[in-house]
Homo-oligomer: A and B are copies of this chain.
């Protein structure tokens, strides 16, 4: 059976995209010129945008449902970084001729699954053909109580630097998929972290009024800590030995100490990096977070090795250009 080519745009919307708007009055059944969204009184709109291009951000042969779910989660992580409650998203799809209805059905199933998991709905978008690779753009919306949002600025000298979950798993998982790391027992956990990040939405809400600065770790811990330093006009020192690692990451690092650079700068962790006043450290008890360092006067982020020597993390972050 030949794969079914994509139908015309109106059929495409009716068959695949309109069902994703079910329950979202704001989407107006994708039948009007725009979406109409109510923002709760006393709240601000939080807006984030991300592009995903096949061959740049994911492999064209990746499972379509996982592409969809990772796309949503990356955006949800940006909303979490500001402690927003997700509202919905608009999506722009540029489909090459190679995309057929089987692929699209898998992609939409992935969207539907994570919509249900995170309580969001498709609100609008646009679809076009492209002679280039599959390209996806999402603009995601959330709301946050006015003035209560978490920002990258606001850290104070002496504040503790903390991070959620474990760091480096996603970058190691990608290295594993690329064959830069040999197969080993437990590698699925790392690959899973690369393919399906977990946005820290609930944790972020717990940090409102507690964290003085926050962001999500997408470009690599070292580089992203630099962003908090810049935004807060401070320096920071974190200790490599305190960075929380998963069991497979610890195993790998013991065998290959050179992988510390991958862990520090690989990115796509989608964990929260944040600062808290030292006198409030006890309020972190019970949360899946680890204190890894401290904010200081000065500028730039320092990562210290076991002997307290500064590690050069170079540009410290993944850059597209």
Contacts and interface: CB of A to CB of B under 8 A. Distances in A.
Given A131-B55, A146-B38, A82 B45 contact: no
B215 A32 contact: yes
Contacts of A50: 92, 126
A153 to B, nearest CB: 8
A134 to B, nearest CB: 9
Interface in A92-150: 92-94, 123-133, 135, 137, 139, 141-142, 144, 146, 149
Contact of A131 (B12, B35, B56): B56
A274 to B, nearest CB: 12
Contacts of A32: 81-82, 151-153, 215, 231
A48 interface: yes
Instruction: Name the residue in A32, A41, A146, A152 with the highest tally of chain B Cβ atoms < 10 Å from its Cβ.
Output: A32
Instruction: Name the residue in A84, A127, A135, A139 with the highest tally of chain B Cβ atoms < 10 Å from its Cβ.
Output: A139
Interface in A46-61: 46-51, 53, 55-57
Interface string A256-300: 000000000000000000000000000000000000000000000
Contact of A320 (B31, B37, B129): B129
Given A135-B130, A321-B12, A39 B39 contact: yes
Interface string A224-256: 000100110000000000000000000000000
A9 interface: yes
A302 to B, nearest CB: 20
A184 interface: no
A10 B230 CA distance: 13
A216 interface: yes
Interface in A153-202: 153
26 contacts: A8-B320, A9-B319, A12-B321, A32-B151, A33-B215, A34-B79, A34-B82, A34-B84, A36-B47, A36-B82, A37-B46, A38-B45, A38-B146, A47-B123, A47-B141, A49-B92, A49-B125, A51-B94, A51-B128, A92-B139, A94-B135, A127-B320, A130-B132, A131-B132, A131-B133, A132-B132
Interface of A: 6-10, 12, 28, 31-39, 41, 44-51, 53, 55-57, 78-79, 81-82, 84, 90-94, 123-133, 135, 137, 139, 141-142, 144, 146, 149, 151-153, 215-216, 227, 230-231, 319-321
